[in-house]
Amino acid sequence: MTTHLVWFRRDLRLHDNLALAAACRDRSARVLALYIATPAQWKAHDMSPRQAAFVGKQLNALQTALAEKGIPLLVYDVGDFTASVEIVKNVCAQHDVSRLFYNYQYEINERQRDAQVEKSLSQVVCEGFDDSVILAPGAVMTGNHEMYKVFTPFKNAWLKRLKDSIPECVAAPKARESGAIPPPSTPITLNYPQQDFDVALFPVEEKSVIAQLRQFCQQGAAEYEQQRDFPANEGTSRLSASLATGGLSPRQCLHRLLVEQPQALEGGAGSVWLNELIWREFYRHLLTYYPALCRHQPFIRWTDRVQWQNSVTHLQAWQTGNTGYPIVDAAMRQLNGTGWMHNRLRMIAASFLVKDLLIDWRKGEQYFMSQLIDGDLAANNGGWQWAASTGTDAAPYFRIFNPTTQGEKFDRDGDFIRQWVPELRDVPGKAIHEPWPWAEKMQVTLNYPRPIVDHKQARLATLAAYEAAHKG
């Protein structure tokens, strides 16, 4: 009997899992599943304790679901990717594996690990799949066969290619002929710091995630364009955590969206949420063609000459949500309190760190990863380089958000701010965005810091720093 091994990484699901489906296609083969925890690597990559807890719960759900299909999940805990190569090699030898199936990861360390695995398994057929994207890197290129560096032309080419052939979703595998196996009596525990998260917001069971996707595509996707910028509203999908860890595939998102909002491909209802999926693809494709992005290097090289102020005091105030700018502080406290931040707030908070405090964007990128339940290198790096004007198709460096007017625009009445900055709950209406004049007039003492920088002066300092770097 031939033995197939499925190596799970960031693809913790049964439905629409290309590697799992391929491994199970031969009904006569014995199928084993493998997961290798690498805590030292996770620490080096700033994986958040909430994401570790999320992955741990997903793994236990996956192990139970696989057992019902007659597939045992072998779980190993080693230090890093280098050690995981030996585990794969040993498991293949121990179980006489003839074929290894896995879904590609595009980050540089992961690609090097996979290359080492393939090199060490001379007697095993290795099959990889472009599972975490809708269209594989290399499928959307310029006329000169180069990767697009600007989003809109990439998006147009991506949509054209997609319309030619929409990739199908593959079904969850049927139970093996040998029948179900009893699940392990002891749960999987990960040797990594973990922090609780709200399962109602970030469901773990596959059926619950699929239900969340269905509900959003039925109700939220059509209104996403109108609702997505207002953090006090539940206008976003909150599917990013499941996409980051592979509890959900982007193809599932695309197909469900087109079922519920068939005009999305033509720019109709649902097209703005589709745009977010395309941004996700853009950043993943970029990572493949520009591995320097995985090494904390800016896409626009001259921006490495910016002279950052890197104030430790200012960084700490930003991290803890005590900058004196209410919308920024509410955003950071939401991140610290839940492991998630609304996308509009990610832009505001990132812009403030880089362009008001003149702190290196990489410090913000690292802090976000250390807190986010949906931490994903490609998306997080892409977002930070966009905000810092160091990335491809980024906001120009002279575009600097005014944090006060951003608050006034996207949290007009201060509902979101009051939720996360209780010190300001008694400040009425729009006064909450600049609460000190109201407090002085009412002779009220606010237990809330005054702004740590003056935005107008900070803006001028940032412009000068970028212009000096640009001149070289």
H or E segment to which residue 50 belongs: helix 49-68
Is residue 318 among the annotated active site residues?
no
Of 276, 365, 381, 438, catalytic:
276
CA atoms within a 13 Å half-sphere pointing along the CA-CB vector of 275? 16
Angle of helix 108-120 versus helix 81-94 axis, rounded to 10: 30
Is residue 438 among the annotated active site residues?
no
Is residue 302 among the annotated active site residues?
no
Of 279, 318, 386, 438, catalytic:
279
Alpha-helical regions (H) of 218-289: 221-227, 240-245, 250-260, 271-289
Of 86, 118, 233, 308, catalytic:
308
Q: 296: left (phi > 0), else alpha (psi -120 to 50), else beta? A: left
C-alpha distance from residue 363 to each of 167, 314, 378, 394 (Å): 38, 12, 16, 18
Is residue 7 among the annotated active site residues?
no
Of 233, 275, 336, 343, catalytic:
343
Is residue 343 among the annotated active site residues?
yes
Of 7, 42, 273, 384, catalytic:
384
Of 340, 361, 386, 438, catalytic:
361
Quote the tokens at residue 161: 């290619």
DSSP 188-229: ---SS------TTTS--SHHHHHHHHHHIIIIIHHHHHHHTT
Bridge partners (DSSP) listed for residue 3: 30
The C-alpha atoms of residue 42 and residue 192 are separated, in whole angstroms, by 9
CB atoms within 10 A of CB 223: 15
Expressed in angstroms, the distance from the first to the final Cα of the chain is 65
Please list the active-site residues.
276, 279, 308, 343, 361, 384
